Amino acid sequence: MRAIPDAAQPRRGYSLPDAIVFALTAAGAVLMLLPFAWMVSTSLKSPAEVFAYPVIWIPRQPMWSNYAQAFGIAGFDRMFFNSVFIATASVTLNLLTSSLAGFAFARLRFRGRDILFALYLATLMIPGQVTLIPVFILIRALGWYDSYAALIAPSAVSVFSAFLLRQFFRSIPPDLDEAARIDGAGSLRIWWQIALPLARPALATVAVLSFLGSWNDFLWPLIVIHSRDLWTIPLGLSMFQGQYAVQWHLLMAGTTIAVLPVLLLYAVGQKWIVSATAVATRGNA
């Protein structure tokens, strides 16, 4: 049964409860934004203004040079490229493996499917810390230490993505594949020509989520990356934290550089996230 979108309903104007809800929601939104505002504001402050009281929200003279310094000290251009490259490669591989697996679990009938699916779900519960050391040793054994592959390969497969896509594929009416099979289409073709195009919103969700996972990861790159040329942005951020002192103005300039791309990405992709999670969570988990 499809839901009728709320927006399709005629609207009579706003009531008093609406106004109260609006005010509370808006106040909450301001609270959510304040930390970001401080991040940006601090990134433009002079060191003296950072620890001024009362809080200075608008620096007397915006120190754009903080950004230049952040780029200059840490070589952010190279790190930016590394982060983008690693995240893009992870997303591509992740989409491929997860959509194949999700499709198989949702639409193909084969012996052992449910057991395998249970196995998948079980791995979802493995805390990442359990596998940290063994995976590190494995990466060394494969000769991938200190390479892009060390960062990309472990994130090429995501159980959560496969799970999400499986939920989505289950919501596609079975009549569609049955009709295609009668026309002589094979499973791969149904996957490619029917399931994937229909699943575009879910794929976008998976893409955004895995991009974020890769972009924001800090611990793993710290462990497997050694060369400065391969540093990612979160690793570069740690540059600002010297041996003793935290330089908040530079730290926040770097943080802004790290956070801005993902916020932009989210601004572009947010409508897919919502519609796809709708289907994903409705598929009788």
Between residue 122 and residue 161, which ones bind other proteins under the rule CB under 8 A?
122-138, 140, 143-150, 152-154, 156-157, 159
In 3D space, the residue among 101, 70, 244, 113 whose CA is nearest the CA of residue 164 turns out to be: 101
Binding other proteins by CB under 8 A: which of 13, 16, 53, 115? 53
Among 60, 175, 197, 284, binds other proteins (CB under 8 A): 284
24 makes contact with other proteins (CB under 8 A): yes
Determine, following the binding rule CB under 8 A, whether residue 192 of this chain makes contact with other proteins: yes
Nearest distance in Å: CB 62, other proteins: 19
Beta carbon of residue 77, minimum distance to other proteins (angstroms, whole number): 15
Please select the residue that binds other proteins; options are 13, 16, 32, 61, rule is CB under 8 A. Answer: 32
Site for other proteins in 221-260 (CB under 8 A): 222-223, 226-230, 234, 237-239, 241-248, 251, 255, 258-259
Write out the binding residues for other proteins, residues 54-113 only, by CB under 8 A: 54-55, 73, 89, 92-93, 96-98, 100-101, 103-105, 108-111, 113
Looking at the DSSP bridge assignments, the partners of residue 246 are 241
Which amino acid, 63?
A: M
Judged by CB under 8 A, which stretch of 59-67, 181-189, 196-204 contacts other proteins? 181-189
- 38 binding other proteins? (CB under 8 A): yes
179 touching other proteins, by CB under 8 A: no
Task: Give the burial class of 78: count Cβ atoms within 10 A of its Cβ; 0-12 exposed, 13-18 middle, 19 or more buried.
Answer: middle
Tokens 């499986």 sit on residue: 166
- Of 59-67, 196-204, 262-270, the segment contacting other proteins by CB under 8 A is 262-270
Torsion of CA 32, 37, 38, 43, to 10 degrees: 140
Q: Which is nearer to other proteins, 28 or 62 (CB)?
A: 28
Here the tokens at position 135 are 């995976």
Does position 7 interact with other proteins (CB under 8 A)? The reply is: yes
Tokens of 38: 């401080």
Sign of CA dihedral 97, 103, 108, 109: positive
User: For residues 179, 184, 185 and 187, what is the CA-based torsion angle, rounded to 10 degrees?
Assistant: 90
Give how many residues touch other proteins by CB under 8 A: 137
Tell whether residue 13 is a contact of other proteins (CB under 8 A).
no
| Min dist. Cβ of residue 107 to other proteins (A) | 9
Give long-range contacts, CB 8 A cutoff, 24+ apart: 255-258.
255/39, 255/43, 256/39, 256/40, 256/43, 256/67, 257/67, 257/70, 257/71, 257/76, 257/80, 257/233, 258/215, 258/233, 258/234
**DSSP label at 64?**
T
Nearer to other proteins among residue 76 and residue 215 (C-beta): 215
Q: Is omega for the bond preceding 234 within 30 degrees of 0, making it cis?
A: no
Q: Is 182 in the site for other proteins (CB under 8 A)?
A: no
Nearest distance from residue 113's CB to other proteins, in Å? 6
Instruction: Name the minimum Å distance from CB 73 to other proteins.
Output: 6
Bridge partner list, 241: 246
